[in-house]
Amino acid sequence: MPIVNISVAAGRDPEVLRSCLRAVHDAVRDSLGAPESAIRVLLTEVPPASWSSGGVTLEERSARSQPGSHASTSNGRDEK
Protein backbone atom coordinates (compact mmCIF):
# COMPACT_ATOMS: atom_id res chain seq x y z
CA MET A 1 0.00 0.00 0.00
CA PRO A 2 1.71 3.22 -1.13
CA ILE A 3 1.57 6.06 1.41
CA VAL A 4 2.55 9.58 0.40
CA ASN A 5 3.05 12.33 3.00
CA ILE A 6 2.90 15.97 1.90
CA SER A 7 3.55 18.95 4.17
CA VAL A 8 2.59 22.43 3.01
CA ALA A 9 2.40 25.82 4.66
CA ALA A 10 -1.17 26.53 5.77
CA GLY A 11 -3.23 29.06 3.89
CA ARG A 12 -3.98 27.55 0.50
CA ASP A 13 -7.46 27.37 -0.94
CA PRO A 14 -9.18 24.02 -0.19
CA GLU A 15 -9.76 23.45 -3.91
CA VAL A 16 -6.02 23.79 -4.57
CA LEU A 17 -5.29 21.22 -1.86
CA ARG A 18 -7.92 18.85 -3.26
CA SER A 19 -6.38 19.20 -6.72
CA CYS A 20 -2.94 18.36 -5.29
CA LEU A 21 -4.30 15.27 -3.54
CA ARG A 22 -5.90 14.04 -6.78
CA ALA A 23 -2.78 14.72 -8.86
CA VAL A 24 -0.52 12.87 -6.42
CA HIS A 25 -2.98 9.96 -6.19
CA ASP A 26 -3.09 9.71 -9.99
CA ALA A 27 0.71 9.91 -10.27
CA VAL A 28 1.16 7.05 -7.79
CA ARG A 29 -1.49 4.97 -9.53
CA ASP A 30 0.02 5.58 -12.96
CA SER A 31 3.68 5.17 -12.00
CA LEU A 32 3.37 2.19 -9.64
CA GLY A 33 0.26 0.53 -10.99
CA ALA A 34 -1.19 0.47 -7.48
CA PRO A 35 -4.90 -0.19 -7.07
CA GLU A 36 -6.84 3.02 -6.40
CA SER A 37 -8.19 1.75 -3.09
CA ALA A 38 -4.68 1.00 -1.79
CA ILE A 39 -3.23 4.50 -2.27
CA ARG A 40 -3.02 6.80 0.75
CA VAL A 41 -2.14 10.47 0.38
CA LEU A 42 -1.78 12.46 3.60
CA LEU A 43 -1.59 16.23 3.39
CA THR A 44 -0.58 18.18 6.50
CA GLU A 45 -0.97 21.94 6.69
CA VAL A 46 1.70 23.50 8.89
CA PRO A 47 1.14 26.94 10.47
CA PRO A 48 3.62 29.53 9.12
CA ALA A 49 4.99 30.05 12.65
CA SER A 50 5.95 26.36 12.75
CA TRP A 51 7.72 26.21 9.36
CA SER A 52 11.32 27.39 9.23
CA SER A 53 13.91 27.69 6.51
CA GLY A 54 17.36 29.08 7.16
CA GLY A 55 16.41 29.72 10.77
CA VAL A 56 13.55 32.05 9.80
CA THR A 57 9.89 31.06 10.04
CA LEU A 58 7.52 31.65 7.16
CA GLU A 59 5.61 33.99 9.45
CA GLU A 60 8.74 36.07 10.06
CA ARG A 61 9.66 36.02 6.38
CA SER A 62 6.17 37.21 5.46
CA ALA A 63 6.29 40.01 8.03
CA ARG A 64 9.66 41.16 6.65
CA SER A 65 8.28 41.33 3.13
CA GLN A 66 5.35 43.57 4.11
CA PRO A 67 5.58 47.16 2.84
CA GLY A 68 7.08 49.44 5.46
CA SER A 69 8.74 46.58 7.33
CA HIS A 70 12.32 47.27 8.41
CA ALA A 71 13.03 44.01 10.19
CA SER A 72 16.68 43.08 10.06
CA THR A 73 18.46 39.77 10.15
CA SER A 74 20.72 38.69 12.98
CA ASN A 75 23.74 40.08 11.09
CA GLY A 76 22.28 43.60 11.27
CA ARG A 77 21.58 43.94 7.54
CA ASP A 78 18.11 44.23 6.05
CA GLU A 79 17.00 41.02 4.34
CA LYS A 80 15.64 41.46 0.84
The total domain count for the chain is 1
- 22 is a domain residue: yes
The answer to whether residue 58 sits within a structural domain is no
> C-alpha dihedral over 37, 4, 42, 34, to 10 degrees?
-10
Please give the average per-residue pLDDT across 60-75, as a whole number.
72
CA angle 59, 60, 66 (to 5 degrees): 90
Q: What 3-state DSSP class applies to 68?
A: coil
Structural domain range at position 9: 3-49
Quick check: is 79 in a domain?
Answer: no
Give the pLDDT confidence score for residue 52 in this predicted structure. 95
Mean pLDDT of 28-33: 98
Q: For the chain, what is the mean pLDDT?
A: 89
- Residue 24's closest CA among 55, 47, 50, 3? 3
pLDDT recorded at residue 78: 42
Question: Domain containing 15 — which CATH number?
Answer: 3.30.429.10
**Residue 25: inside a domain, yes or no?**
yes
Residue 56: pLDDT band (50, 70, 90) is: very high
Is residue 30 in some structural domain?
yes
